[in-house]
Homo-oligomer: A and B are copies of this chain.
């Protein structure tokens, strides 16, 4: 079937939509692929629907090839299963909730773990029915606070979500690997470069988890990788823990020494001041890494309880708020506010430290459950027993040096939230890491038994014993991938689709007012259609060549064929949008460029 632009539901725009911030959003609206319905909610025009359908089909084919079965769940689901797993509450404001006419609670599902678990519970009863992987391609909802990136992160979005079910951990590992392999094939077919990084489990709960990240400077995720093969989302990076000093070694360390430290608002000024007033015996200069920085956070639980937590990190690092979020699962964390400090006058801002050193050297712990304040106190994993630090002395304009962990103070626990830097060691010993930015394009996840336990999904094993099923979940954002492809493949004139998902194979443009040209073009369109090419034919009689060319470049069909002045001589011009080349080709040879 040939699509004629003279009769196509399309309007291209010259101006970027005012609410669009990213290139994919601007171009998909301007080129007539999508239209905004509400913040983060889009309608699909015929062009957009064609690209989306091709993308879905590629994903579907690879899922089926990996042995997964396609199903389809409603977007609107009852509350109870999500209540049973705790997600009804955990999702917070991101969940769209509603009631029916009888007052029963429903949600618009952001993911479908619960529903899939219950369906498998309904249908499967024996280990012989496993392994099983089922998937759907379906519209999901998430009430993003500020949905500003078009399809990159909408409030309604299409996802392929798959779930695997196994009777054993080994089975889960295999099912996981199959999906992981399928993801590699999908991204290869789409021409998407990817790095597979270890990822934190985050709000989903569970164990092993990897993200497929597209390396790109404009990515919203940061990841680290080593030359030796380590790769992890920065949230999942685990700092190697140095060896602690033994109790015997600690005995020989210098005693704490309190010193005046006026005008030291920053770590740099503190370090300079300490070097000036307290030169070290061995001549080495004090460095930022010798100081212990005590950061105060306010942590609010799902139930709304707000409390303070002090996190000690080496002074040459800060807290990475993304890593902080992961370290306090289910809580909202922010730096303590002026009000928080006002409510806790025992925290001397700018001079906070774990302990107070009295005039005759007696030490009183201030922070932590063991301290006078009782405020939760957590330490970076590098701050091990026997390490000595310059830190706040809990008095205005006073710091203390030689304060030793495990001798002078202790912490309530360890928290790995400090910033990660180029050169930090990979935790697997594969060398130093470098930082890079990426965009998440897929996520594979060993959920384990969390959902099966909450919803009672058990099967009989070989011995006739009931065992809880272990699950995996595997997601690709279809509409998000479409936006990412648009981000990657465009230039200043418009979109440049990869062939695998292009709305048409060829954009045929007839120019001028000569009826004979249109007849030649129509005949070429028919021949192209015959050889199986999907043809968009710009047959608009009263539109100038400039407008037609502009539309062709904006729409982004990979190859444009222009039939114009040279048509009478039997020639057309063939453009390769990606390469930027234009070539004179005999019209008779054009179908050969597209046919099977």
Contact = CB atoms under 8 A, between A and B. Distances in A.
A9 B43 contact: no
A7 B145 CA distance: 43
Given A100-B96, A119-B43, A123-B9, A139 B64 contact: no
29 contacts: A7-B67, A8-B69, A9-B123, A10-B123, A32-B123, A35-B119, A37-B77, A41-B74, A41-B76, A42-B74, A43-B71, A43-B73, A43-B115, A44-B71, A44-B72, A44-B73, A49-B70, A49-B71, A75-B75, A75-B156, A76-B96, A76-B156, A93-B101, A94-B101, A96-B100, A98-B98, A100-B155, A101-B143, A139-B139
Interface string A99-110: 011001010100
Interface of A: 1, 7-11, 32, 35, 37-38, 41-46, 49, 64, 67, 69-78, 93-94, 96-98, 100-101, 104, 106, 108, 115, 119, 122-124, 132, 134, 139, 141, 143, 145, 155-156
* Leading 9 A-B pairs by shortest Cβ distance: A98-B98, A44-B72, A9-B69, A93-B101, A11-B123, A38-B78, A43-B73, A74-B156, A101-B143
A38 B77 contact: yes
A77 B104 CA distance: 21
B73 A37 contact: yes
B74 A46 contact: no
Given A7-B67, A49-B71, A76-B108, A100 B143 contact: yes
A487 B74 CA distance: 23
B43 A132 contact: no
Nearest to A147: B100
Contact of A75 (B100, B106, B139): B139
Contacts of A73: 37, 43-44
B74 A45 contact: no
Given A35-B119, A37-B78, A75-B75, 13 more contacts: A35-B122, A37-B73, A37-B74, A41-B76, A46-B69, A49-B70, A75-B139, A76-B96, A97-B98, A98-B98, A98-B108, A101-B145, A139-B139
- Residue of A38, A43, A97 contacting most chain B CB atoms (<10 Å): A43
A67 B7 CA distance: 9
- Residue of A9, A37, A77 contacting most chain B CB atoms (<10 Å): A9
Given A93-B101, A145-B101, A9 B76 contact: no
A117 to B, nearest CB: 12
A471 to B, nearest CB: 15
Contacts of A98: 96-98, 108
Identical copies of this chain, number: 2
A42 to B, nearest CB: 7
Contacts of A124: 11
A71 B45 contact: yes
A325 B72 CA distance: 37
Contacts of A71: 9, 43-46, 49
Nearest to A96: B98
A41 B8 CA distance: 35
Contacts of A78: 37-38
A232 to B, nearest CB: 31
A132 to B, nearest CB: 7
- Residue of A37, A76, A94, A106 contacting most chain B CB atoms (<10 Å): A76
A146 to B, nearest CB: 10
A44 B136 CA distance: 10
Contacts of A119: 35, 43
Contacts of A94: 101
A98 B107 CA distance: 10
A405 to B, nearest CB: 43
A203 to B, nearest CB: 17
A76 B141 contact: yes
Nearest to A131: B7
Contacts of A108: 76, 98
A134 B75 contact: no
A155 B9 CA distance: 31
A32 B119 CA distance: 11
A72 B157 CA distance: 12
A42 B49 CA distance: 25
A314 B134 CA distance: 62
A184 to B, nearest CB: 21
Nearest to A156: B74
Nearest to A138: B139
Contacts of A74: 37-38, 41-43, 139, 156
A518 B585 CA distance: 56
A102 to B, nearest CB: 9
Given A78-B38, A101-B145, A145-B101, A72 B49 contact: yes
A124 B119 CA distance: 45
Contacts of A76: 38, 41, 96, 108, 141, 155-156
A166 to B, nearest CB: 14
Contact of A106 (B1, B38, B72, B145): B38
Contacts of A49: 70-72
A11 B73 CA distance: 17
Contacts of A96: 76, 98, 100, 106
Given A43-B73, A45-B71, A9 B106 contact: no
Contacts of A46: 69-71
- Residue of A10, A78, A94, A96 contacting most chain B CB atoms (<10 Å): A96
Nearest to A125: B11
A242 to B, nearest CB: 44
Nearest to A46: B69
